[in-house]
Chain A
Amino acid sequence: MARVVVTVPATAKRGEVIEIKTLAGHPMETGFRHTQTGELIPRDIIKTLVCLYNGAEIFRAELHPAVAANPLVSFTTIATDSGTLEFRWTGDNGFSATQSASISVV
């Protein structure tokens, strides 16, 4: 299972803009490199990252091989209600990872 980390503030004021950082442990193999014997290393990347706030999609990113290994993506959202933020990564070779974080809005 891939290691994924998300940083979400535990509490926020209603209407406040919060910053979310996500990091997934993944080599993001580009598919352009060769081994010493000249064989092409097949592509193996994370293709999408989706963030759901209480079930509603607030952010979606499409990643390409030009994103560095262990992709870090950070973005912002408005703290509307207490609840959970769910993060889903999907990629080549059936890669899939989920992580959730809870936030309480006062």
Chain B
Amino acid sequence: MISRRQFLIVTCAAAAVPARAQLPTNITAQRKAALAEAVREVVGASPLRTGRVKLDLPPLVDNGNTVPLAVTVDSPMTQADHVRAIHVFTEKNPQPKVISVTLGPRAGRAQIATRARIADTGQVIAIAQMSDGSFWTDRVEVVVTLSACLEEGLI
């Protein structure tokens, strides 16, 4: 006589194996590599330092389809010392890039805001390029309850 517990273990294991096989097994590694590649494209060989950049977004995201995010960089925004560009990346999206903006001393304040799609719980990264060529970064860990990019069959 097979117990309920044994039955559940066997059937769940049988159900889980093909479901897992449908996904590319190394998808997390692929996305990590894509993120590293996108960051390297921006930063090159320069060192990436933490600080000066403040990435502001809710730590718990109800709906990944519209996540308000703001980036503020601590900079005087003068001709001699200003932020040249701000880039935002996500860790788990199919493509890591979110937005890249070009600023100049005429911006007055290095402050931008937009709304992003975030696919899954993970890191969001902002990188600022200064006029002296240095790069500064901020990372925020977010928890996403309803993922973007997964709502299939809408049409």
Q: Which residue of A lies closest to B101 (CB)?
A: A61
Contact A30 B117 (CB under 8 A): yes
Given contacts A41-B155, A61-B99, A78-B106, A67 and B117 within 8 Å (CB-CB): yes
Interfacial residues of chain B within 98-120, with CB under 8 A of chain A in the complex: 98-104, 106-109, 111-118
Within the assembled complex, what's the spacing in Å between the Cα atoms of A4 and B112? Answer: 19
Interface residues on A, range: 20 to 34
Partner of A69, one of B65, B90, B94, B109: B65
Give every chain B residue within 8 A of A68 (Cβ-Cβ). 65-67, 114-117
Contact B154 A76 (CB under 8 A): no
Contact A66 B116 (CB under 8 A): yes
Give every chain A residue within 8 A of B65 (Cβ-Cβ). 68-69
Give every chain A residue within 8 A of B112 (Cβ-Cβ). 61, 73-75
Partner of A30, one of B109, B149, B153: B149
A36 within 8 A of B: yes
Within the assembled complex, what's the spacing in Å between the Cα atoms of A32 and B152? Answer: 9
Within the assembled complex, what's the spacing in Å between the Cα atoms of A18 and B108? Answer: 8
A97 within 8 A of B: no
Within the assembled complex, what's the spacing in Å between the Cα atoms of A20 and B95? Answer: 28
Nearest Cβ in chain A — how far from B20, in angstroms? 21
Contact B113 A72 (CB under 8 A): yes
**Closest 9 pairs (CB-CB, A-B):** A17-B108, A68-B115, A78-B108, A60-B102, A68-B66, A66-B98, A64-B97, A62-B100, A74-B113
